Structure formats: structure tokens, C-alpha cells
Amino acid sequence: MSAKLELLSRNLQKHLGGRIAGMQTALGEITVDVDAALYPDVMPTLRDEPELAFEQMIDLCGVDYSTYGDGRWQGRRFAVVVHLLSIARNWRVRVRCFAPDDDFPAVPSIVPVWNSANWFEREAFDLFGIVFPGHDDLRRLLTDYGFIGHPFRKDFPVSGHVEMRYDPEQQRVVYQPVTIEPREMTPRIIREKNYGDVENG
Amino acid sequence: MADIQNYSINFGPQHPAAHGVLRMVLELDGEVVVRADPHIGMLHRATEKLAETKTWIQALPYMDRLDYMSMVCNEHAYCRAIERMLGIEVPVRAQYIRVLFDEITRILNHLMFIGSHGLDVGAMTMMLYACREREDLMDCYEAVSGTRWHAAYYRPGGVYRDLPDGMPQYKESKWKNGAKLKKFNEARSGTFLDFLQDFVARFPKLLDDYETLLTDNRIWKQRLVDVGIVPPERALQLGFSGPMLRGSGFAWDLRKKQPYAVYDRLDFDIPVGRTGDCYDRYLVRMNEMRQSNRILQQCIDWLRANPGPVLSDNHKVAPPRRADMKSNMEGLIHHFKLCSEGVHVPEGQVYSAVEHPKGEFGVYVISDGANKPYRLKIRSSGYAHLSAMGEMARGHMIADVVALMGTIDIVFGEIDR
């Protein structure tokens, strides 16, 4: 671990201390797990504390862990992952917050802390159905007007549920159930450790 | 007196200044924008979801199709993410080639920027000049990858192949023959690097020409100066990056601050704006092209002097050479495994960001150890920039909305993904 990463990890421990659920360092990056209840409390600290100084929210995305490791996943299903960047201190951190309820995933909004979160939260709502209480304009963003479902959830088929075509009789565009068969060209495989007697085989 | 109400107009989804498919609902008070609400997603192809159904390598060509104005920079972020998770080393020559192409792409992108920005604001000449220079650079793309746009040239572990020894030449035709044909083919008679060297040598002069057309042009300044001012603290809040952030006065460039590839060995400067208006962002981008040209020169010199491998020799990740595959059993097996099952990336997550011509382009991947990504998230700079459109446009005239759209340098491939 480089000196900078060590300092960041120390500062995070110092200022967030008991408020974080876990902290991992891997591949030169720090991931902090935060409970949804403490999330609105932790985020302003990350921005305002001069020893952390994360002025920028670079990315926010939803993750659906339901099929992780072909069903190995034990924890909650939906998470929101936030990437923060400090320009003053030139470091990054990743904050992960699991939504407590799988059936109605909700994570507090961080738009008041970083305004750039606005569209990112709308996207996570649109694609994963994660609700952000405190967001005042939580509309769909990327999908079609009137779209039903949350397409990036793992139980949503890649080919979708409806397709669109021009109907010459009605002389307008109509929606109908998809007519294409789902197919998989390359199966998804997770090999056991040391498969073929090599690392990372 | 008549009761005057605000009214809304629909800008797009088909509009020549929308740079693609943007629908924007503008609420106007006379000619002044009160509220701008961009509706995006018309080009949404769910790249991230598609990538979950493809092997790591199969998903790579999708990256070209994100920001289709700066193709290989997207690939760079993706390849770096995979390389970091696998922990493989990229040969130095491949890193130089990547930097070379990143900078070619930066020039390509910025040329398109001044061309289309000019076109939006009413300076049509720029587009024609920009396309003339883009032609040469796209020939470079074609020479190394066979395609002019969607190169799929960067691979995990290096680049697909080394720079070619020759450039494609113009053939004799009714329009190009005799002395004219000879003139066209003059720079193409040598190697790829000779051709690029020729471009690098004449490009600063061409940039000066563009500057005489635009920089002190009265109309250009009237349209850009003091339009869309973003103060530094707002630029941070709104998640700006790249030239948009530098235009507001931050000397922030990932190539310098968090160097990747071989940027730490190269000498270049970061242009910074002062007021954060459209004009400053234009100046920043013009200056970036000069800096890119400097980087190109350094890369050319290094690449001429240092031959070597361009693809990792770890055949669990990068395919073996064609000849090995034909004569060597092990090579054949590696090739078969790579092309059928693909690479298994160890479990973990990584966020890899590059300084894309438009800002910070990041790829966040989660792997559960399979031959396909578990989750791929693409962080595109244009997305954050466009989300600030409402704030930037408020209080401006409706004609300035077009100038703002130009200054953001939006490409819907990366915004809608």
C-alpha cells in the first residue's frame, strides 16, 4: 500500500471511525461500506472534512448482487456505489451502501451534498428501481417514456419484454411482446481456483 | 395590457445543433430561458447490460461506440481496468502506442469540437478545415486497425499489432492523377511514423490558421464570451472534469495528476482558463491540441528508437502469434480457449479512469471471477456536463443554448450509453 493510500485510510478511520461498516483496500483503491441509516451522515463529512476533502462526486451507480458468483451472494441485493474524488488531495474513495429492503430498495439521496448526483440517482432509479428519498425530481431518465420495469436488474432479460414495430393497418407504431428467442453465445463460467494449474487461468 | 405567460418549446429530438438525439424542453420568458430540462436516452443501447452477457474481450468493441468521437480513449479505460484486475504488465512500446493514439484521438475530438461548435454558432468554415485534418488522422486509424472509427485496437495486454511499415496510398483515378496524385501520396511513401511526423510538423501552422479565423473574430467572441459562466465551486459541485473543469480555473488533468500509461515520462502543459465561460473553454481546447501535438512528437521519437513487443506474452490473456498458433499445440489451445471461453478475471472491483478528450472517462467493473463482467459501469464526462445544462442555460437567451451545447462537446453515444 502506498503512503498516500495509507494516509487516506488512516484519515477515514479517524473521521468516520464507528460510522462505517467495513473498509477494504484492493488494487490500490479503498472501498468503504456504509449502512443506509448512517449514509446521509457520513457523506457530508467526506466532503467537508479538510483531511478528506472529497469535493467531487464522480460517479454513482446501482448494483444488483442477486446472481453474484452464481448465487453465492449472501448479503442484501441492491447497493449504491459512489466514487468520490478529491482534487485538493488527489485521492479517490469508493463508498458502497446496501439498500436495507430488497423488495423496496431505498437509499437516501446525496443531491444536497453533491449536486452532480442528480442524474446519476435518476439513472440508478430508472435502471435498478432504487428509490432515493430526498431527491426532488426522481423521474426516469434513460428508458423510453412509459417504460415498465427496471432493465438492469438481473432478472430482466437482455432482449426485454416488448418490441416496437410499425403497424400498417393502424398506421402507427405499436408495442407487442418480443418475438425473438433469448440465446447465449458464450456461457457464463466461473472456474474453480487454480483451474488448469495456473493463477487467473 | 395583455397577460404574458411563459411558454415551453421543444428543442429536438431532431435538431442540427443537438449533436445527435437530444430532446430539451425549454421554458421561455420571451427569449430568455427560465428552465431547460434535457430528456436523454434516445440513443440508450444498454451497453453495460450487453457487456454482462459477453466475455471480457467481446465487450471491448462496444467501447468504441460510446463516445464515437474519441474511440480508443474509451478502450483505454476498459483495457486498463482488466489489466489492473489481472495484474498484467503492458509492454512499454504498447503503452507509447496507446499514448500516441490517445493524443491522435484528442486532436480528432477537439477538431470535431471546433468544427461543430463553429457550425452551431455560425462559422461554417471551421467544419470544412477541421474535416480536412481529421481525414489524415483517420487514415492513421485505418492504417493500424483497418477501420477509420471503431478501431478495437487496444486489447487487454497491449495493442492489437505494431505500427505498420507503410501507409495506404491513393490510387490513380479520373480526379487524382499525374502530379496531383504524386502530391497526395508524397507523405504516404514512408512508414506510418513518417506520415504522422509530416502531420505533426504542419499541424501547429494549421492551428494558427484556425486561431486567426476564430480567436479574435468579433462575432465568435460576441457569441462565446461571458456565456455559460461556471464558477469554480459550482464546477466541482456539478462533477465537471476535463476542459470544462480546466476552463473554470483548475489545473486538473489525470494525465498529470494520476498518470497512467507513460504520461509521466512525457513533457506537456495543462492549459487553464480563468473565467469559466464558453470562450475560455474554447481556448483551453485549442491549447490542448498544441500540447497533444507536442506529446505526439515525443512519442514518435521514442517509437522510432525503441522497437519491441506490443502485446503481453501472457497467453492466458493475449492471444499468441499467428505462426505459433499454426505450429504449436499449446498456442492453438490458448487461442481456442481465449476465443471461446475468454479470460477469467479474478474476483474484485476496480475503477479505472482516463483523461478522455471530454473529461474524466471511467470504467467501474465488478467481477465475480467469471469470464464475463458481473457489472460494468461507464462513467462518461458528458453525462455530468449535460446534467448541468439546466443551471448553465438559466437566464441566457435561447440562442445561447446552442453555444452551450457546443461548449459541452456532447456526444450522445457516451451520454446515453
| Gap from B111 CA to chain A (nearest CA, Å) | 26
Rg, C-alpha atoms of chain A: 21
Q: In chain B, which residues have their Cβ closer than 8 Å to the Cβ of A72? A: 368
Residue A97: enclosing H or E segment and its boundaries? strand A91-98
| Radius of gyration for the alpha carbons in chain B, expressed in angstroms and rounded | 23
For residue B368, give the nearest of A90, A143, A190 by CB distance: A190
A48 touching chain B per CB within 8 A: no
Is this complex's ipTM strictly greater than 0.85? Answer: yes
Q: Identify all chain A residues contacting B374, using CB atoms and an 8 Å cutoff.
A: 68
CB contact under 8 A, B236 and A56: yes
Query: How does the average pLDDT of chain B come out, rounded?
Result: 89
| Interface contact flag, B349 A94, Cβ < 8 Å | yes
Please give the residue of chain A at the shortest CA–CA distance from B373. A188
Q: Which residue of A has its CA nearest to B256?
A: A90
Q: Residue A9, SS3?
A: helix
Q: Which residue does chain B place closest to A62, by CA atoms?
A: B377
Q: Using CA atoms, how far apart are residues A172 and A104, in angstroms rounded to an integer? A: 36
From B407's Cα to the closest Cα of chain A, the distance in A is 18
With CA atoms as reference, report the closest residue to B266 among B284, B242, B226, B293: B293
**How far, rounded to the nearest angstrom, does the alpha carbon of residue A37 sit from its chain's CA centroid?**
17
Q: Please give the Cα distance from B182 to B198 (Å, whole number).
A: 15
Q: Position of cell 490513380?
A: B172
Looking at chain A, the whole-number percentage of residues with pLDDT higher than 70 is 96
Which residues have CB under 8 Å from B399's CB, separation 6+? Answer: B31, B223
pLDDT band, very low/low/confident/very high, at A200 (cuts 50, 70, 90) = very low
pLDDT in tens, chain B (417 residues): 667 778 888 887 887 777 778 888 889 888 899 988 999 888 898 899 999 998 999 899 999 988 888 889 999 999 999 999 988 989 999 999 999 999 999 999 999 999 999 888 888 888 899 998 998 899 999 899 888 888 889 999 889 888 998 888 888 888 888 888 888 888 888 889 999 999 999 999 999 999 998 888 888 998 889 888 999 999 999 999 999 999 998 999 999 889 988 999 999 999 999 988 999 999 999 999 999 999 999 999 999 998 989 988 888 888 888 888 889 898 898 889 888 888 888 889 999 999 999 999 999 999 988 889 999 999 999 999 999 988 988 888 888 888 888 898 888 888 988
CB pairs under 8 A between A and B: 123
Q: What is the pLDDT of residues B173-204, one digit of tens each?
A: 888 888 888 888 888 888 899 999 999 999 99
Helix (H) or strand (E) holding A176: strand A172-177
Lowest mean pLDDT among A45-49, A152-156, A179-183, B353-357: A179-183
Q: Are B392 and B404 in contact (CB under 8 A)?
A: yes
Distance CA B353, CA A72 (A): 29
Look at A197 and A153; give whichever has higher pLDDT. A153
Cβ <8 Å between A55 and B236: yes
How far is A195 from B16, CA to CA, in rounded Å?
Answer: 54
Which residues in chain A are closer than 8 Å to B250, comparing Cβ atoms? 87
A182-188 contacts, C-beta under 8 A, 24 or more apart? A182/A157, A182/A158, A184/B53, A186/B54, A186/B55, A186/B58, A186/B340, A186/B341, A186/B342, A186/B371, A186/B372, A188/A70, A188/B370, A188/B371, A188/B372
- The beta-carbon neighbor of B237 closest among A68, A114, A190 is A114
Summarised one tens digit per residue, pLDDT across range B72-125 is 999 999 999 999 998 898 999 999 999 999 999 999 999 999 999 988 888 888
Q: What percent of chain B has pLDDT over 70?
A: 100
Task: Catalogue all structural domains in chain B, each as residue range(s) with its CATH number.
Answer: 44-380 (1.10.645.10)
Q: Is the pLDDT of residue A198 over 80?
A: no
The closest CB to that of A119, out of B44, B372, B383, belongs to: B383
User: Nearest-CA neighbor of B48 among A5, A127, A97?
Assistant: A127
Chain B environment of A61 (Cβ under 8 Å): 364, 377
